[in-house]
């Protein structure tokens, strides 16, 4: 099978690149498009640090052959920082000190973005379930759960028209 030109809508922008057969979405984002927020932790779907949103759903991009999502819309952490401003999830991660080495952080934030998109008022159990596929070796998870609850609260407050 020859390499092929694949097109994706990445963070709202149409991008085209050449992909070798079987190349993963993660490899294409990092190597062809220079979007390095998604990290390669385990490369086998177990750690979640490569999580990006494909059509709004969190996916382990290390397991996705890129040709299977050709044409899809993909959102990465780079697309969360719109216009150079941190969004509620990012700033809550900072304020709640929900990151230590930072290796899991990109994946955690993308999972949180997906959760808050479909459920703006999650319970703590909802948050725990959402991040359960993501490994953090540093924080003990508690600050991450607290940060996502805080982000949800901030986003709801912002949504209330004044």
Q: Which parts of this chain interact with other proteins (CB under 8 A)?
A: 42, 44-47, 97, 100-103, 128-129, 131-132, 135, 138-145
65 beta partners: 24
Please state the φ and ψ torsions of residue 10, each to the nearest 5 degrees.
-105, 120
The interface partner of residue 140, options being ligand FES, other proteins, none and the CB cut-off 5 to 8 Å by kind, is: other proteins
Residue 24 near ligand FES by CB under 6 A: no
Distance, in Å, from the CA atom of 38 to the CA atom of 27, rounded to the nearest integer, reads: 10
Q: Choose which of 11, 32, 49, 106 interacts with ligand FES (CB under 6 A).
A: 49
Residue whose structure tokens are 């997906």: 114
Give least dist CB 2 to ligand FES, A. Answer: 26
Pairing of the two strands 4-10 and 73-75: parallel
Classify 109 as helix, strand or coil.
Answer: helix
Residue among 76 and 105 whose Cβ is closer to other proteins: 105
Query: Could you say which DSSP state residue 33 is in?
Result: S
Q: Choose which of 4, 73, 100, 146 interacts with ligand FES (CB under 6 A).
A: 100
């Amino acid at each position: 099978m020859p390499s092929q030109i694949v097109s994706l809508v990445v963070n709202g922008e149409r991008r085209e690149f050449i992909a070798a057969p079987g190349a993963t979405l993660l490899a294409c984002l990092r190597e062809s498009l220079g979007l390095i927020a998604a990290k390669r932790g385990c490369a086998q779907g177990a750690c979640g640090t490569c999580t990006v949103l494909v059509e709004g759903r969190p996916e382990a991009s290390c397991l996705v052959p890129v040709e299977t999502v050709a044409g899809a819309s993909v959102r990465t952490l780079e697309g969360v920082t719109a216009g150079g401003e941190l969004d509620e999830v990012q700033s809550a991660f900072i304020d709640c000190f929900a990151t230590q080495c930072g290796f899991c952080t990109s994946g955690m934030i993308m999972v949180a973005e997906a959760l808050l998109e479909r459920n703006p008022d999650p319970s703590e159990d909802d948050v725990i379930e959402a991040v359960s596929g993501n490994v953090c070796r540093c924080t003990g998870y508690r600050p991450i759960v607290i940060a996502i609850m805080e982000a949800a609260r901030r986003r709801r407050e912002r949504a209330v028209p004044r």
